[in-house]
Amino acid sequence: MPAHPDRLAGKRVLVTGGSRNLGRAIAVACTRAGARVAFTYSMNDDDAASAAAAVKEAGGDPLVFKGSVADAAHVDATVRAVVAAWGGLDVLVNNAGITQILPIALVEEADWDHVMSVNVKGAYLFARAALRPMIKARAGHILNIGAFGEGRVVHSPVHYAASKAALAGFTDALARDVGRYGILVNLVQPGLLATGLGQGSPQARLEEYLEQNPAQRFGTVEEVADVVVWLVSGANTFMTGVRVPVDGGA
């Protein structure tokens, strides 16, 4: 399902964690579908420059913002800057996320808090900020990037799985809360991908995943990004509060 060249024509899209892996693929796919794209990143300037170059190669002129998604001041300033530049915001993709491959006995309280602050608090802060222009326009899409590990077959670190389960609940509740404003809120649950956080899992777990997966392979960031483009486009007019697995049947 490659991105239709004008599926997001005129849309203003903000992607969190857009400098690498899936976030970068989403930013590029949205650009190719006709959107104006902004993205955030937290640390690596070289990755951000590379992602910006990829968006430009796809035909865009991205707005790029550095900061933590768990920092309310950064979040509010980012959304204000996008709205000031483009006159509004149509799509928010909450992609930023972190994990640690640790057994629960080695998870310190600070580790738990950090994963929760990025994976859950960050999504809340960006959604809260994005809803201001969306409610004013009485239209918009918020798409959260979850994970199959929240409720599927392969073992995941406890604090990561808990954060993604919280994000799924957040999606469900937010969809009900803002539906009356014409805003659709959904969750994409990627399986293990050929690049990204999941590849840090122990080799035995990666092999287990491939054995149990009907597709017998890892997904690609481009496959997930194409689903994201459809979900946040005008083609999706009535799906909200939905969890969409993109995992090869895992």
Residues annotated as part of the active site: 160
162: nearest Cα among 144, 175, 177, 146: 146
**E strands, the chain, in order:** 12-15, 36-41, 63-66, 91-94, 140-145, 183-190, 243-246
Angle 21-32/221-231 helices, nearest 10 degrees?
50
Tell me the three state secondary structure of residue 75: helix
Token code pair at residue 77: 């300033």
Q: Phi-psi category of 241—alpha, beta or left, where left has phi over 0 and alpha has psi -120 to 50?
A: left
CA–CA gap between residue 108 and residue 119 (Å, rounded): 17
